[in-house]
Structure 1
């Protein structure tokens, strides 16, 4: 690992050959065509060996939630950039250089690309601090830390902590079609008609139903108000399913005839008008 790291030049420059040979970085145009695959292979090897660093940094920003996988991918991208920019000549361990590079990449992603509704920068930064601090506090306390406890730990007022925690929904707001308390947003919309246009029909239908006998009313009630199946109705009333079906058909025909044959209301001159 050390030999691999020390073979690269500043700011992602070409791989330096062993001592005693010409430095390909001194050649016009950098690496030759034959050395470029070696450089890419060395970078890939370093990145694969340090993927756990990227995953650890990603977890500190989002331990759970739908954005966790996206942040992990951004962390891998930051790791690749760290490999390309690392300069072993400065005497800094690769891990010490990679962590802030990966964290910076994730912060830029959260700031510029992740928020659907972008809160103030202060709220974003505090949310990040909470995401990093809350797991450690939960492990120390044996329970989830309250907003007040997080505020004391981070040096922020409780209401600011609550605001930052609430901003989590701004990352990916719920769809308007998402169900809430068993109903969708569409279920709460007003109907196209307020029913006034059907009021005359409902009055006529009520009058026709009132002219039915008790057993016919019960069948209608069970089938169309209680929404029982014909088989259930038959079992409870001592009828076969076929008898229930035929009786309901006769009742509907009777209602239809009474509605269509109902006497027309009189107009202002006392002349009946047809409603058929």
Structure 2
């Protein structure tokens, strides 16, 4: 579970670890029972710090904290009203993605900082309810592949939509933040490092990875042994039961094919 989904605890009060019995009490009451209102209000009261905890996760993205807090509270109330203890999941595993989804919908609808394709925005609208349903069913935050399966959507599009959640309002690079050790104010521009030359290798790897996955088993195995496990051609030949010359030819041909496909794509 991510840092965002770790169970926050109320300062000086009870944790959220044992809140499920209260939901069971609520579910056992008839709709017209006046005690339902009392139990629901108690649940909301106990969960108010949770909404504040999550709202603070989204500060620094160009939105006023009080506005974020109100939106988070709307999501928290929705989580209280929708949670079903009969599913067996914990309330936090359901409430956290529900509240975060409400806050993210606000950013999605009102605070996009860069252009995001319509298709990704459409998937964004579906991700929140899917995460909510899966979280209650699984008792944890779902993986991207599980979200894609739930939506019947392409995993790549779902992943891109999840990444696009960061495309919210940006802060100016010359906006000052907390000072450094010398007490002077810093801007985001001051904190940026130099270009890492290894980024180029990462880009190359990401570009060729699907091409490697599409190779025949033997060619893919030779590449893995040579470049990922650092085996010599002789060691590879012994492992595969072929000659060193055959390994050399396989490597040469495979690398040439990958290079042509990568440049073409």
TM-score between the two structures when normalised by the length of structure 1: 0.36
Bigger CA radius of gyration: 1
Structure number with greater CO (CA < 8 Å, separation at least 6) is 2
TM-score between the two structures when normalised by the length of structure 2: 0.37
